[in-house]
Structure 1
Amino acid sequence: MPKTVCAIIACHNRRAKTIACLDALKHQAINEQSVSLRVLLVDDGSTDGTADAVRAQFPEVEIISGNGGLYWNGAMRLALSHAVKRSPDYVLLLNDDTVLCHHAVQTLLTTACRVEDHHGAKAIIVGATRSSTHGGISYGGLVRGPWWIPLRMRKVPLSDQAQRCDTFNANCALIPNAVIDVVGNLDAAFTHAMGDFDYGLRARNLGCKLWVAPGIAGECEANLGQGSWTDKSLPLGTRWQRLKGPKGLPPREWLVFTRRHSGPFWPLYWLNPYLKFWLNGIMEACTTQRPARGAR
């Protein structure tokens, strides 16, 4: 019997990127006699013709329509709930701005088989992505800091060998059914971000393993924060609203994450980004208002 892989993708008004992602997925170098690959796409209310373009170019892709307010975590939760009904051996979490290398899926599966043989079946396999502009790793596996800074994550460096990690960016991640049986779905407590970090940390706490596959799985540009709460070209008040918004660090969601994953000092970790935001904002304002030397 071939191994069954169900790739799940969420999209919203990024037609060209979504098409490029699906095209790379369609042309993966896999043995169709040993691997069966199907794709579920949640189109969350796109108005740029994404769904129609996908239907025309990739009729084999199953499209699930969202209401436009699912954001990433909600859309992927919906996709995963549909995927598990097909009882696949693996679910591949994939961002629609990720363009996989030709052998990415096969490398993930090969790594999964090797890890399963040596460490048991409960292992998430993460694919690292790189930036096409600077060549560095953009997303992939993450390792936590020491106990006093448990939420400070560092990227697992590139290697030709599989490496352990603590959690992951879900731009490319292969999750076996055995892990989903233990961990379940992405948590509905999160709207957009943090859902993948939380999933990896919960999986690890429940006894599952996480490994980064060797090499590069594909290309994906890192989010540079333009237009977000970190964008210093925006007014401070606008940035504050975006920090609290769905794509920032919504206080209630950040509360769930810090209480769950940062130990007994979680109130400090919860408060830290909001306090730092206003301290930096005050310093920026003082620097801007301070007259230049010799201006008087």
Structure 2
Amino acid sequence: MTQISLIIPVRNRQHYTQNILSQIFQQIPQANTDNISVISVIIVDDDSTDGTREMIRRQFPNVYLIEGDGNLWWTGGICLGMNYAIDKLDSDYLVWLNDDISLSDNFLNNLIDICQSPLYNNTIVGGIVRDKTYSDWIVFSGMHKKQPIRSMDYFATAEARSVDTLNGNIAIIPRVVVDKLGFPDADRFRHYGGDFEFVSRANKSGFNVILSSKLQATTDYNLNDLIRYMPPLLQWYLQPNTAKRIQILKGFTNLKSNYNIWHMVNIIYQDSQHVPFWRYAILYVRQVIKLLVSDFLLLSKTETTLKNYLKQQNAPEETIQGLINYRTKSI
């Protein structure tokens, strides 16, 4: 019997946690009709204070609830859940899920099909997260040749395509991958980058990595989400307000920021076992100087970079116009 563990790290997002668990347990009865697979749900709660744990115990007693101390962040939570899935549940497949997504109606059926297929015994399989409003806009998926996959056109010729790495919003990790590589690096990639680094490491070690259109979910991806995932230079350009620019500068030393200095340096030197402190310091200084001089020396280049970025991201025209209006109002 195939043991499949769904691992969801959460913290202080009770509504999202309740929503994703409701979806999962609505689908489990239909998905478990094959009698050859068992789906377990592991929630790693990193010391929530909003009643998340109490809600889980009350409404979802079959969930395996692991309690953190508030210092796990995403990667630490995923590692704790993966270790539990292997050590306590003897799982064959470990499935990473984010809590802020809405699963497709046949999500668990498709997931089981993938886990049961001998084609994927040694393959990490990622899923796609589309925007709820613009169905062709993929907002989380994976990367191929350093380019993010952002359109359903990518699957025009095949429902699954090879990629180099994946987002951790939806990912199936076979047990054999963990047996060989261990867990994601929670020391160097505490919140951002743990998914990319682990999947990249697996790819370099000979495991196949694919992105499957059979595993789908949606999310509300608004203008603020688009902006906060942009490189800091583009955020700086779009938000000329002094107070907001101070927050952008603070992002370099904030683990909640996707461009924090530890994430950026360790992505660059992910194949190095040790990164000296001076590399962090130098990159920090360079990034700050780049922002401070960009209004004077890099303005036209930044405008071109923004256009190319939005094209690469497959951003809908309405969203692009909203971005233009946003900057106009900020000036």
Tell me the TM-score normalised to structure 1 length. Answer: 0.81
2:213 aligned counterpart, secondary structure: coil
Structure 1 or 2: larger helix share? 2
Match of 2:325 in 1: none
Aligned counterpart for 2:149 among listed residues 150, 155, 158: 155
Give the match for residue 308 of structure 2.
Answer: none
In structure 2, what is the equivalent of residue 209 of structure 1?
208
**Alpha-carbon contact 1:112-1:125 (below 8 Å) kept:** no
Q: Trace 1:14-25 onto structure 2 (pairs within 5 A).
A: 14-25=13-24
Q: Please give the residue correspondences for 1:255-266 in structure 2 after superposition, counting only pairs within 5 Å.
A: 255-260=265-270
Change (3 A) 1:10 1:285: farther
Aligned to 1:141: 142
Aligned-partner Cα distance in 2 for 1:191–1:100:
26
| Aligned mates of 1:209, 1:273 — CA distance in 2 | 35
Preserved CA contact (<8 Å) 1:258 1:269: no
Uncovered stretches (5+) of structure 2, i.e. residues with no partner: 273-277, 300-331
Which of 222-231 and 122-131 deviates more? 222-231
1:83 is displaced (CA, Å) by 1.4
Distance 1:24 1:237 in 2: 40
Counterpart in the other structure of 2:302: none
CA change 1:130–1:259 in 2 (3 A) is same
Which whole-Å deviations, capped at 9, do the CAs of 1:76-131 have from their partners, x for residues lacking one? 111112111121111110001122112112213323444x33xx621011111111
Secondary structure of residue in 1 paired with 2:264: helix
Q: Which amino acid aligns with 1:60?
A: N
Match of residue 248 from structure 2: 239
Change in Cα spacing, 1:17 to 1:122, as seen in structure 2 (3 Å) is: same
Cα distance, 1:260 vs. partner? 2.5
Residue 99 of structure 1 pairs with residue 106 of structure 2? no
Contact 2:131–2:219, Cα closer than 8 Å, also in 1: yes
Contact kept in structure 1, 2:125 and 2:210, CA below 8 Å: yes
| Alignment CA distance shift 1:225-1:17 (3 Å) | farther
Q: Which SS does the other structure have where 2:17 is aligned?
A: helix
What's the % identity of the aligned pairs? 26
Whole-angstrom CA distance in 2 between matches of 1:112 and 1:274: 46
Instruction: Find runs of 4+ consecutive structure 1 residues off by over 6 angstroms.
Output: 267-274
Q: Which residue of 2 aligns with 1:194?
A: 193
User: What is the one-letter code of the residue matched to 2:256?
Assistant: K
The one of 79, 82, 91 equivalent to 1:80 is: 82
Letter in 2 for 1:246: L
- How far 1:184 sits from its partner (Å)? 1.3
Give the drift of 1:192: 0.4
Letter matched to residue 235 of structure 1: K
Q: In the alignment, which residue of structure 1 is the partner of 2:323?
A: none
TM-score, length-scaled by structure 2 = 0.73
Question: 1:61: which partner in 2?
Answer: 63
Question: 1:190, 1:253 within 8 Å by CA — same for their partners in 2?
Answer: yes
Per-residue CA deviations over 1:186-209 (Å, capped at 9, x if unaligned) read 102211000000011000011101
Equivalent residue, structure 2, for 1:292: none
Change (3 A) 1:241 1:181: same
The count of corresponding residues between Structure 1 and Structure 2 is 272
Q: Distance in 2 between matches of 1:25 and 1:59?
A: 13
Which letter maps to 2:148?
R
Q: Secondary structure in 2 aligned to 1:235? A: helix
Write out per-residue CA displacement over residues 129-186 of structure 1, whole angstroms, 9 at most, x where no aligned residue: 11113221111122133xxxxxxx3116432511111110010111111111122111
Q: What SS does structure 2 have at the residue aligned with 1:217? A: strand
